[in-house]
Amino acid sequence: MERILNCLVIDDDREVNALVCEMVEQTEFLKLAGNFFSAGAAIPTLQQEKVDLLILDINLPGIDGVTFAGTLKLNGSGNSPKVVLISGSREYALDGYKVDALDYLVKPFAYEDFYRAACKALTISTAKAETTPKTDHLFLKVEHELIRVNIPDICYVESAKDYVRVVTGEKVTTALSTLKAMEEQLAGHGFLKVHRSFIINPDKVESIQHLTVKFGKTIIPVTEQYREAFRARFAAWL
């Protein structure tokens, strides 16, 4: 059975937005998960739903498409959607490489060009699904042994140079790993990066105040780079 990819369209030009949505609906392995006219408006959907492919205009009001794609990559890690950038000019094509864009389409583009880009996303998604097992736990390297930790029990992960501190309730496990490696292991489990040194489990947050989150006696700041995604994730609280 062929995989179906959830696709999101973001373009402030309403005619282009509508045209791309038609292309999505015309493609048998794509499902339109939503369409938006600004990056900020799309954040709640990206946080709450699994989006496999993002068709993203570069020249957007507020945060531009390249910057937004970079933010998703930082926060989403291995679970972030594949991105196809679209623009009325070729001048930003090199920026696409910086955010690992799957393709770069110059408006106006034909359906054949769109379909080719979508097929790239399908190929990568299918390969990843076949090689990535689902798991609710991970193993941490602590000195000379591996310690099993249930992912839902993790409150937050803190970077400590070549180590990470993984906090589960009252227990703190210091393991040999990097924060980036932990991001990859926790991808797809709803964790959120709020600081260059912290990844948090939103389900374990006890309180939020003035862009800080609290776990017991620990207060973690939400730095500017991650605030937009944070506000979207906790929109009901803020």
Residue 132's nearest CA partner among 191, 184, 192, 201 is: 184
pTM exceeds 0.75 = no
Is the previous residue joined to 133 through a cis bond, with omega within 30 degrees of 0? no
90 vs 76 pLDDT, higher one = 90
Tell me the pLDDT tens digit for each residue of 171-198.
999 999 999 889 888 877 888 999 999 9
Residue ranges of the chain that CATH labels 2.40.50.1020: 137-233
Tell me the pLDDT tens digit for each residue of 69-78.
988 876 654 5
- pLDDT over threshold 50, residue 25: yes
- pLDDT over threshold 80, residue 1: no
- pLDDT over threshold 70, residue 160: yes
Quick one: tokens of 27?
Answer: 């493609």
Mean pLDDT across the chain: 89
CATH number for the domain formed by residue range(s) 5-131? 3.40.50.2300
Confidence band of 128 (pLDDT split at 50, 70, 90): low
- pLDDT over threshold 70, residue 132: no
What is the pLDDT, as a whole number, of residue 129?
60
- Asked whether the beta carbons of 52 and 83 are under 8 A apart, the reply is no
Residue ranges of the chain that CATH labels 3.40.50.2300: 5-131
What is the pLDDT, as a whole number, of residue 119?
92
Q: In angstroms, what CA-CA distances link 92 with 13, 57, 96, 107?
A: 18, 11, 7, 13
CATH of the domain spanning 137-233, picked from 3.40.50.170, 3.30.200.20, 2.40.50.1020, 2.120.10.10:
2.40.50.1020
